[in-house]
Structure 1
Amino acid sequence: MRKIYFIALLLLCGNLYGQGLPGLGAGTTPNNKPILHGKNWVAITGKPLGATAGAAIFHQGGNAVDAACAMIAATSTMWDVLSWGGETQALIYNPHTKKVIAINALGYAPTGATVDFFKSQGMNNPPQYGPLAATTPGTPGGIMTMLAEYGTMSLEQILKPSMELAKGYPIEAQTANAIEAQKAKIKDWPYSKKIFLPHLGKEREAPEAGEIFVQEDLYQMLSKLVEAERNALKGSKSRKEAIYAAYDRFYKGDIAKEIVRGTREQGGLFTEADLANWKVKIEEPLHVNYKGIDVYKLQEWTQGPALLQSLNILENFDLKTMGYNSANYIHTLYQAMNLAFADRDFYYGDPAYVKSPMKGLLSKEYAKARAKLIGDMNDPKITAGDPYPYQGGTNPYLDILKKNQTKVASLSPGQINSTLDEQFISDFQSGTTSMETADAEGWVVSVTPSGGWIPAVVAGNTGVGLSQRMQSFVLDENLSPYNLPEPGKRPRVTLTPSLALKDGKPLLAFAVQGGDSQDQNLLQFFLNIVEFEMDVQEGTEAPNFNSYQMQSSFGDHEIRPGAIVLRKDTPEWISKELAKKGYSLEFWNKTSGPINAIWFDWKHSTFWGGSSDYGDDYGIAW
């Protein structure tokens, strides 16, 4: 009997941390949340009320794009680690063209935002908070462009849930407590203080959990967008033209004027021309093929291609044989991610200003060369490679690259910091939200909107909280000559929605919150599904790990070589083996932001939705 029990225990441990045992089949592991099964549609996002907004639009006959737009608007209104002055980026699968579309609605640096300007202010990096941290608002333009080009409903219809929320909704504890924790900063900005601190002078100045939180200025701003659309429709404009009339009112009309006035009053740099000249870009996404699956990401103004690079590198290893979350598996993924992220740190930026060598970076030959650098021990001195020869070119920044390589190679063990302090972790994992939608017609949307999180500067009497995305620029060309600020340039951001297609049809839509950890967690989730045959909910809840051997995109852009965070239930023998390989280990109860995903069951023509148990994220399917 003891022998049988021991064998069963070994099989269980093998399933969790060794061989994977995919033959057991999907659904055998008990999940903390149920799978969302749908025939008609799925809506998943960062807050239950946000998912409810998407469900309401679906029930009115909207498609997945309509629902996604309503969910972005609702979560922005709820300050779910973003607001209306933040940024939106999306991947959309169009069932009629069978193509994936990329939406770039990231704001850019305003007039006067240069390296010299920030250094003249005594800064080594752009600030994390305040009016000088703000790029121009992108989310309103992103919502309206997506809706106009690929949706079916009016702006008024998709804004109705967010307008109801702006008139007053029971605020959640997470947001209410974040306001209370940040109230000292919020008091620096008069328009923010007016909205966020309704109980000034009392012990708790923020709203209480469950209290009705009212945003009258934001409601009036949204009403102006609806008014502009209505007037255009009365003037015989088409649905699309009417939505763009609202777009123009936000970026060129009275709303823009108030945003600029209110921002400059508080020390910001915005001009009316900055808003008027900004445009949403509809782009071609980047993609690679991993074992017959086409994986799509946004261009290199996001960190998304790092996941594609990681997959190219990992194709050179037999991951399944290593076993799920074995020490060798974790080590191999950690090293592959470090190689990809070292390239991200140096080469990624706004391609409209400095063209990154993406052809070389995403080539299979370059990936093979990078894979050969992975040995048996952690390499704390990994730096960016040179992909230019793999696209038939010459590296224009070879001198900087070689200088960095020489500097890192000369570091002594005592000069390499692999410890994790609270502020570094907070900056590294700065959250956002994500949303996934799909419908029976075939539309699929994956979005990772962000920006304007608490504490946010509110732009005058608009209720619009401004982005903090300027901090993702660097001021030192040795860190990245591709990501230096200048007016009109977009910073390289962490935001990274994902779509995967197989045989030309959607297989997975997936995204996660969590700053620089996003593509680490998404890579592991994708491999959970593809290599270890987990179902979508198992894949979102499964143990993962985080590397900190790449520059933080926030704060001081620091790096912690060899630092790794594992889930607390990691077996001791795996921890010991990783320590022997040179890793500095920490253990947490939860090691990922909330992963949201949809898996497409083409055998039964249904949807499987997954949302991890790591946060407030929630979904609804029908």
Structure 2
Amino acid sequence: MRRRTLLAAAPAVAFLPTAGTAQPAKKDAPPLPPAWDAGADRFVRPDVGGGDRPVGASFASRTAAYGLSGAAGTAHPLATQAGIDILKRGGSAVDAAIAINACLGLLEPTANGIGGDAYAMIWDPGQRKLVGLAGSGKSPRGLDLATVRARAKQGTLPAYGAISVSVPGAVDAWWTMHQRYGKLPWKELFEPVIAHAEAGAPVPDMIAWYIRRSLAGFRQPGREIEEIDNAMRTYGMADGKGPAAGQVFRNPDLARTFRLIAEGGRDVFYEGEIARTIDAYFRRIGGWLRREDLAAHRSEWIEPHRTSYRGTDVYALGANTQGIATLQMLNILEHFDLKSAGFQSPLSIHLQAEAKRLAYEDRARYYADPHFAEVPVEWLVSKDYAAERAKLIRPDRILSPVHPGQAPSHGDTTYFSCADKDGMMVSMIQSNFRGMGSGLVADGLGFMFQDRGQLFTLRDGHPNIYAPGKRPFQTIIPGFAAHGDTPWMSFGVMGGDMQPQGQTQIVVNRIDYGLEIQAAGDSPRWHHEGSSQSMGEDAEGLGPNGLLRLESGVPAATRARLAEIGWTIGEPDGGFGRYQCVEHRMDGDTRVYAAASEMRADGCALAY
């Protein structure tokens, strides 16, 4: 019986409170057993589905949050609340984004922090256009290619330790955004994170599980991390293994660091006391990052790239990111009738996965820091090139082998979205890259440095080859969609190489299949692994066509048919990304926001 039938049939008296139900618990009552043991196999029950929703998609976890004045969706409820509080104080969406990001660095250290980089796309209602910001740091200028190659493992940079550290770009990105779009005083934006860092905050189930897994990984033999004592002191808790679900985590070192940033702005981080501490730390452990590298760092405003997908403008950042892969995939898919193919059908997933394989060959061949290499972006995102690539796809078999196009001749992450009463919308993503990062925490600062440098290649002649003072290839990408000069969706799907794949699935779910903002994210996803790559996230042993992982919600008939036409089907592994979205819509002359946050993360979406 569906829920709407049950509620309609039950007598009203059944829902009245019963006398005595509000009795307080006795002080000597035994503690309750744990309601959830994160990751326990006994909770993985393919034969048990979710509850029945009386409205909307049966697979949606909840309804979007609606509001008139502002909205925010993040990977942690306290970060979402911080953003809403900043908006209610009169702050802009940029103010809210900075406060959210600062909180997430404390509350979700497995995905981000001020030791990492940041990218943003901002809908500027005054200009009625989208602007982009790249806050990506460079490799240390004192670390040369010969030294990197000497430390390489199987031809790639190590995943951890000082060799993988590049300049953290997040704090300067916040400052740059605030200088142009901030309304509240800079120091007020850090009040929420300082309060949480000092008083402590309970750690949600998934984040606790990832922290404990990351710390265990740092301790594994062969990691060759210069030192991990600081990381263990910062995140290890009493048992040295990390917080358990619901355990209160405090970080007084990070609170002090944020007090310095609140008072001293970006300069204290890149040139002042924090920079001197970072310099001394890396000298002590034999690393290469220096105060001079920090002082030279600046974020840059960049023009987002755009394509039209069935009449909707979809935007992506170029720079040294993988953002244009989303545009390439959508351009290819525009040549196929996905609506007629059917939602979650084998043909629909097959076509999307093939578009991914084609786009990712170009990703491996051409994407790099445009300050060091001439990336043929306009050709890669052109409709003519997409038409050529689409002709390679067959509906009943896998393209094999798959190669990058021939260019014309010439020279673990967090995502959040928020919007304000004036129509400004921020799509922002920030990351330490793999897991918690490099494993390195500078003395007394309370945050971990990113290991983004692992994404350089060591292949001679490749545009993404390592060089001192160069930005590595970036996986983190915010998403945005609009209709002309009217914004529509500020969205993102975090998670390494899953990001363009996830963004494409969101756009397809919304435009081709008409799913609303929440169901579009809760819909079962696919994730293809094994495309050609040239950086440290290469997957090995996956065969010529890679591995197509399907979430358990994908229909069994779809799974079987995909296997029949040659796909190697992989089991779900949790690597399907985590999505947040704020949608802008109009009800007559009234602006309405809808905000969504999916069930794959610990977060929530709120609007007011």
Q: Which amino acid aligns with 2:179?
A: A
Q: Which amino acid aligns with 1:276?
A: A
Task: Return the offset for 1:496.
Answer: 1.1
- 1:350 to 1:589, Cα distance in 2 relative to 1, 3 A: closer
Task: Return the offset for 1:186.
Answer: 5.0
Contact conserved, 1:545 with 1:591, CA < 8 A, in 2? Answer: no
| Distance (whole Å) between structure 1 residues aligned to residue 366 and residue 491 of structure 2 | 25
String of CA shifts for 1:48-93, please: whole Å, max 9, x gaps: 1111110110121111111111000100122141121111111001
Partner of 2:69: 40
Partner of 2:43: none
Equivalent residues, number: 537
| Distance (whole Å) between structure 1 residues aligned to residue 246 and residue 522 of structure 2 | 28
Q: Structure 2 matches for 1:158-557, cutoff 5 A?
A: 158-172=189-203, 173-184=205-216, 186=218, 188-199=227-238, 202=239, 205-228=241-264, 246-375=265-394, 376-388=396-408, 394=409, 431-451=412-432, 453-454=435-436, 456-477=439-460, 481-551=462-532, 555=536, 557=538
Q: Which amino acid aligns with 2:365?
A: F
- 1:182 to 1:340, Cα distance in 2 relative to 1, 3 A: closer
Task: Return the offset for 1:157.
Answer: 0.8
Q: Partner of 2:413: helix, strand, or coil?
A: coil
- 1:553 to 1:263, Cα distance in 2 relative to 1, 3 A: farther
Q: Partner of 1:217: helix, strand, or coil?
A: helix
Query: Is residue 144 from structure 1 mapped to residue 175 from structure 2 by the alignment?
Result: yes
Q: Which amino acid aligns with 1:547?
A: H
| Distance (whole Å) between structure 1 residues aligned to residue 208 and residue 522 of structure 2 | 27
Aligned-pair identity in percent equals 29
- 1:567 to 1:223, Cα distance in 2 relative to 1, 3 A: closer
Contact conserved, 2:498 with 2:527, CA < 8 A, in 1? Answer: yes
Contact conserved, 1:114 with 1:486, CA < 8 A, in 2? Answer: yes
Task: Return the offset for 1:563.
Answer: 1.3
- 1:538 to 1:169, Cα distance in 2 relative to 1, 3 A: same
Structure 1 residues 211-220 or 182-191, which shifts more?
Answer: 182-191
Q: Partner of 1:462: helix, strand, or coil?
A: coil
Contact conserved, 2:459 with 2:465, CA < 8 A, in 1? Answer: yes
| Distance (whole Å) between structure 2 residues aligned to residue 30 and residue 323 of structure 1 | 16
- 1:80 to 1:171, Cα distance in 2 relative to 1, 3 A: farther
| Distance (whole Å) between structure 1 residues aligned to residue 574 and residue 158 of structure 2 | 29
Q: Which amino acid aligns with 2:479?
A: S
Contact conserved, 1:92 with 1:446, CA < 8 A, in 2? Answer: yes
- 1:212 to 1:611, Cα distance in 2 relative to 1, 3 A: closer
Aligned partner of 1:578 among 562, 571, 587: 562
Q: Partner of 1:507: helix, strand, or coil?
A: strand
Partner of 1:125: 156
Aligned partner of 1:55 among 81, 84, 109: 84
Partner of 2:580: 596
String of CA shifts for 1:103-144, please: whole Å, max 9, x gaps: 111111112334322212243211111122111111111111
Task: Return the offset for 1:30.
Answer: 5.9
Task: Return the offset for 1:285.
Answer: 0.9
Contact conserved, 2:148 with 2:163, CA < 8 A, in 1? Answer: no
TM, length-normalised to structure 2: 0.84
Contact conserved, 2:549 with 2:569, CA < 8 A, in 1? Answer: yes
Contact conserved, 1:307 with 1:520, CA < 8 A, in 2? Answer: yes
Task: Return the offset for 1:588.
Answer: 2.6
Q: Partner of 2:78: helix, strand, or coil?
A: helix
Q: Which amino acid aligns with 2:261?
A: L
Contact conserved, 2:120 with 2:478, CA < 8 A, in 1? Answer: yes
Q: Which amino acid aligns with 1:164?
A: A
Structure 2 unaligned spans of 5+: 1-53, 220-226
Task: Return the offset for 1:161.
Answer: 0.7
| Distance (whole Å) between structure 2 residues aligned to residue 218 and residue 556 of structure 1 | 30
Q: Which amino acid aligns with 2:431?
A: S
| Distance (whole Å) between structure 2 residues aligned to residue 77 and residue 587 of structure 1 | 32
Query: Is residue 607 from structure 1 mapped to residue 593 from structure 2 by the alignment?
Result: yes
- 1:181 to 1:320, Cα distance in 2 relative to 1, 3 A: closer
Q: Partner of 1:296: helix, strand, or coil?
A: strand
| Distance (whole Å) between structure 1 residues aligned to residue 140 and residue 473 of structure 2 | 15
| Distance (whole Å) between structure 2 residues aligned to residue 262 and residue 191 of structure 1 | 11
- 1:608 to 1:117, Cα distance in 2 relative to 1, 3 A: same
| Distance (whole Å) between structure 1 residues aligned to residue 216 and residue 277 of structure 2 | 25
Task: Return the offset for 1:156.
Answer: 1.0
String of CA shifts for 1:220-271, please: whole Å, max 9, x gaps: 222122232xxxxxxxxxxxxxxxxx21221111211111111232232112
Contact conserved, 2:110 with 2:211, CA < 8 A, in 1? Answer: no
| Distance (whole Å) between structure 2 residues aligned to residue 589 and residue 195 of structure 1 | 28
Structure 1 residues 434-443 or 120-129, which shifts more?
Answer: 120-129
TM, length-normalised to structure 1: 0.82
| Distance (whole Å) between structure 2 residues aligned to residue 576 and residue 174 of structure 1 | 31
Partner of 2:134: 104
Task: Return the offset for 1:205.
Answer: 4.2
Contact conserved, 2:580 with 2:596, CA < 8 A, in 1? Answer: yes
| Distance (whole Å) between structure 2 residues aligned to residue 262 and residue 351 of structure 1 | 31
| Distance (whole Å) between structure 1 residues aligned to residue 537 and residue 328 of structure 2 | 25
- 1:160 to 1:329, Cα distance in 2 relative to 1, 3 A: same
Q: Partner of 1:520: helix, strand, or coil?
A: helix
Partner of 2:31: none
Task: Return the offset for 1:581.
Answer: 1.6
Structure 1 unaligned spans of 5+: 1-24, 229-245, 389-393, 397-430
Contact conserved, 1:133 with 1:467, CA < 8 A, in 2? Answer: yes
| Distance (whole Å) between structure 2 residues aligned to residue 261 and residue 42 of structure 1 | 41
